[in-house]
Amino acid sequence: MIIARRFRGPPQSGNGGYSCGMTARELAGPCEVTLRAPPPLDRELSVARRGPGVVVRDGEAVIAEAAPAEVAIEVPAPVTLAQAEEASKRYPWFDTHPFPECFVCGHKRAQGDGLRILPGAVEGRQVAAAPFTIDASICGADGLLRPEVVWAALDCPSWYGMLCFHPWEGQALLGRLAVRIIARPRASDRCVCMGWFLGQEGRKIHAGSAIHSASGELFAFAKATWIRLKPEAPADH
């Protein structure tokens, strides 16, 4: 498998959610992917079955591991499209984003190139949300949003579900993502992505995320584990 530069998170590595989604393509049904190292860009990575799951390697180095898993998480009531549009105006990283060209939440990516999912706090609720319009370039031949991009769209909103309500100045990277896809939106559909904080254990941050249609239909949901980086640790390799 190859992670193209378009799908970067940090400048020199793949967006975590997209990379997890590429890994998960080998498995059917809900699964969990653990990232072991920053996924390199524009390089052939090997994918091999291991028991019921798969492992992705860059040479001998393990990049990601995936296995079937149930996604045990309660999804909050959906946010309306109007609420998401208003919340996105409160996106907290317009001036301080460490990776402003992230495929998912980078505000310096052009519409149609990046996803431009820019979540902000929803007034009166403990969730962050943003609108998401499905571009044809990220859909398959069937006209549906590609599964790996569903994973990507569930990645960053989970982080903002924490950040919007528990501000923090350091950096963190996605460590693990478990996703269940119920259905996939079509090209040109307008959707709502939302995220919410679940808790923290040491440097591990747990958060949830979901994608709904504009009418409130649940397309997919996820549970994410983020790892806060130590001050001396690089966020990119």
Domain positions in the chain are: 5-68, 81-228
**Euclidean distance between CA atoms 178 and 208, whole angstroms:** 10
Phi/psi at 75 (5° precision)? -90, 125
What is the structure's pLDDT at 229?
87
Angle at 227 between CA 107 and CA 218, to 5 degrees: 60
Tokens describing residue 212: 């709904």
- In Å, what is the CA distance from 227 to each residue of 17, 169, 172? 14, 14, 5
Tokens describing residue 49: 């079955």
Does the predicted TM-score (pTM) go above 0.85? yes
In this structure, are residues 130 and 84 in contact, taking their beta carbons and an 8 Å threshold? yes
Residue that has been written with the tokens 């799908």 in this structure: 7
**Euclidean distance between CA atoms 58 and 229, whole angstroms:** 23
**Euclidean distance between CA atoms 104 and 167, whole angstroms:** 20
What is the structure's pLDDT at 188?
97
Phi/psi at 170 (5° precision)? -80, -170
What is the structure's pLDDT at 202?
93
Q: What is the pLDDT along the chain (237 residues), one digit of tens a residue?
A: 999 999 999 999 999 999 999 999 989 899 999 999 999 999 999 999 999 999 999 999 999 999 999 999 999 999 999 999 999 999 998 988 999 999 999 999 999 999 999 999 999 999 999 999 999 999 999 999 999 999 999 999 999 999 999 987 778 899 999 999 999 999 999 999 999 999 999 999 999 999 999 999 999 999 999 999 877 655 553
Tokens describing residue 26: 């080998």
Q: Longest Cα pair distance anywhere in the chain, in angstroms?
A: 49
Q: For the domain 81-228, what is the CATH code?
A: 3.10.129.10
C-beta neighbour count of 74 within 10 angstroms: 8
**Euclidean distance between CA atoms 45 and 155, whole angstroms:** 21
